[in-house]
């Protein structure tokens, strides 16, 4: 099956939050994205609510349930007790756990399983008992996939930031792409499905999709939102789908 494109709504929410006004509409643009062919919506509700607000979550859940029942809701974040309660209240299809400090501007590294496995294991068990699919945010490190499996995850999300950041250096892009590919192969060998996300663009997504043809999902926010300012949300979603062959 082709990978799912999950549109990350954080940048839209951050633009909205510059004013005490209801636009741009997170729900409205989420609807446009799903109408254009996206198969899911992603949010990262940080504790300071600097982009997605907790009050956005019921509307996104309702949008999917009422209008796009085949789409998926993915909530990502650091698994504090407050975050886990948000997840349990709003019932996403997927929970992506990221090792973010609240002060970080964005996710910029995967889990350190050597030091954090004991912390993650009961959290993953709790989420799976609740019926959620669990994905762990990981660096491009094939040797770490056994630990991700042992923790109990269903999927890993490859942190593609270094690959996306190599847009001006083709040799580095090739190197980073191969590291991602090897990590995906190791994940599949352990029975883990593979997601990917961070700094993916229309330009660099085709090579990633070719190197990891069985990607389960890509979550794209910043570049997709930036392109939407130029092309509109619907056309931008279609461009990303076309670029990857999905």
DSSP line for 81-146: HHHHHHHHHH--SEEEE----TT-SS------HHHHHHHHHHHHHHHHHTT-EEEEEE-S-GGGHH
The pLDDT of residue 109 is 84
Q: How many CB atoms lie within 10 A of CB 143?
A: 10
Asked if 52 and 30 count as a contact pair (C-beta separation under 8 A), the reply is: no
At 95-139, the pLDDT tens digits run 999 998 766 666 678 999 999 999 999 999 999 999 999 999 999
For residue 38, which of 229, 230, 228 has the smallest C-alpha distance?
A: 228
Q: Which residues contact 65 (CB under 8 A, 6 or more apart)?
A: none
The pLDDT of residue 103 is 67
The pLDDT of residue 107 is 66
The pLDDT of residue 246 is 81
157 an active-site residue? no
CATH 1.10.3720.10 for the 4-244 domain, yes or no? no
At 43-88, the pLDDT tens digits run 999 999 999 999 999 999 999 999 999 999 999 999 999 999 999 9
Cα 195 to the chain's mean position, in Å?
8
| Catalytic residue (one of 76, 157, 176, 217) | 76
At 149-193, the pLDDT tens digits run 999 999 999 999 999 999 999 999 999 999 999 999 999 999 999
Q: Quote the CA–CA distance of 144 and 142 in Å, as a whole number.
A: 5
76 an active-site residue? yes
With bands split at pLDDT 50, 70 and 90, how would you rate the model's confidence at 2? confident
| Catalytic residue (one of 90, 176, 198, 217) | 198
109 an active-site residue? no
CA torsion 237-90-129-49 (nearest 10°) is 80
Mean pLDDT for the stretch of residues 213-220:
97
Q: Write down the domain spans for the chain.
A: 4-244
Q: Quote the CA–CA distance of 46 and 58 in Å, as a whole number.
A: 16
**Predicted TM-score (pTM) of this structure:** 0.96
| Catalytic residue (one of 44, 157, 176, 217) | 44
């Amino acid at each position: 099956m082709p990978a799912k494109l999950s549109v990350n709504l954080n940048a839209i929410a951050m633009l909205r939050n510059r004013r005490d006004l209801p636009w741009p509409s997170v729900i409205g643009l989420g609807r446009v994205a799903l109408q254009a062919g996206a198969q899911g919506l992603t949010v990262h509700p940080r504790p300071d609510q600097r982009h997605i607000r907790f009050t956005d979550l019921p509307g996104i859940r309702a949008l999917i349930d009422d209008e796009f029942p085949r789409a998926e809701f993915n909530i990502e974040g650091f698994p504090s007790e407050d975050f886990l309660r948000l997840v349990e209240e709003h019932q996403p299809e997927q929970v992506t756990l990221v090792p973010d400090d609240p002060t970080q501007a964005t996710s910029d590294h995967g889990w350190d399983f050597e030091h954090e496995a004991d912390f993650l294991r009961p959290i993953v068990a709790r989420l799976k008992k609740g019926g959620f699919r669990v994905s762990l945010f990981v660096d491009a490190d094939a040797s770490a996939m056994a630990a991700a499996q042992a923790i109990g995850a269903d999927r890993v999300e490859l942190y593609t930031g270094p690959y996306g950041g190599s847009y001006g250096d083709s040799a580095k892009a090739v190197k980073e792409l191969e590291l991602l590919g090897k990590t995906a192969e190791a994940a599949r060998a352990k029975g883990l499905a593979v997601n990917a996300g961070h700094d993916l663009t229309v330009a660099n997504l085709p090579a990633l999709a070719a190197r990891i043809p069985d990607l389960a999902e890509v979550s794209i926010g910043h570049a997709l939102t930036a392109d939407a300012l130029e092309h509109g949300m619907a056309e931008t979603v279609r461009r990303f789908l076309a670029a990857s062959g999905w």
